[in-house]
Amino acid sequence: MGTVQDDRTARARVRDAALELFAAHGEDRVTMRQVAELAGVSPALVVHHFGSKAGLREAVVEHVRTWMDELFDLSADTGLAEDLQASEWSSIGEMLQQALPEGSPVIPYLRRLLMTGDPVATQLLREWHRRTVEIFRAWDAAGKLIAGPDPQTRAAMAMSSDLGTLLLADHWQQILGFDPLRGEGLARWADEAMRFYGAILPPPDTGKDSAIGARPPSPEEAS
């Protein structure tokens, strides 16, 4: 008889198998039996853990949500903003490479989910946008970033760029000849991103109003 730990491991294997198959083929074309075969378990065990394909899908979405939340938790550290200001990409690159292990199906799954117009994708994007606005405002308060007069829209623009990098990385690798998410390719991409984002990143050790794109002082501040 298996232990509780064995049971949890089997559940994670099934979830990961579903994530891989959903990413590769789309949820509609994947059966519970295929998931069971890839996970190395019986179809009955898949039903035992998740009840139905809808339950399995819910577990996959929650896994992706947790992964992104952890990435946001790391990004919320103002020390990361200081690295951005100083163009110190080593720690940021390590964070990204740790969050995106080689061959991870998370990005292909997100790509497919976002492109289908699935309401779940909109829900996830709404949550991630809220977190991004919170981080922008926190970094602005710490003098590490210029959130601007419309942080909601600025955050959406930044997310469009960042998500575009994640979702189009395979295509950019073929077009540019380097992977924008790994190794020297990440450093090259990040170097140009620093120029691109220069308008909202104050130079180190200076007031944020001296940066390009800084908001003008309010009448109260001017007086």
User: For 210, which DSSP code?
Assistant: G
pLDDT at 204: 60
**Surface-to-core class of residue 23, CB atoms within 10 Å of its CB (0-12 exposed, 13-18 middle, 19+ buried):** buried
Per residue in 145-202, pLDDT (tens digit) is 888 999 999 999 988 888 888 888 889 999 999 988 777 888 788 778 777 777 777 7
Confidence of residue 205 (pLDDT cuts 50, 70, 90): low
CB 202, CB 208: distance < 8 Å:
yes
- Which numeric CATH code is attached to 1-51? 1.10.10.60
SS3 18: helix
Whether the per-residue pLDDT at 123 is higher than 80: the answer is yes
End-to-end CA distance of the chain: 76
Cα–Cα distance for residue pair 113/29, rounded to 1 Å: 14
Confidence of residue 99 (pLDDT cuts 50, 70, 90): low
Q: Any idea where the domains of the chain sit in the sequence? A: 1-51, 61-206
Whether the per-residue pLDDT at 121 is higher than 80: the answer is yes
Cα–Cα distance for residue pair 54/118, rounded to 1 Å: 14
Can you read off the two tokens belonging to residue 54? 């809808």
Whether the per-residue pLDDT at 140 is higher than 70: the answer is yes
Per residue in 100-111, pLDDT (tens digit) is 666 789 888 988
Q: Give the CA count within 13 Å in the CB-facing half-sphere of 48.
A: 11
Average pLDDT over residues 30-54: 95
pLDDT at 36: 96
Whether the per-residue pLDDT at 212 is higher than 60: the answer is no
Q: Mean pLDDT, the chain, as a whole number?
A: 79
Whether the per-residue pLDDT at 221 is higher than 90: the answer is no
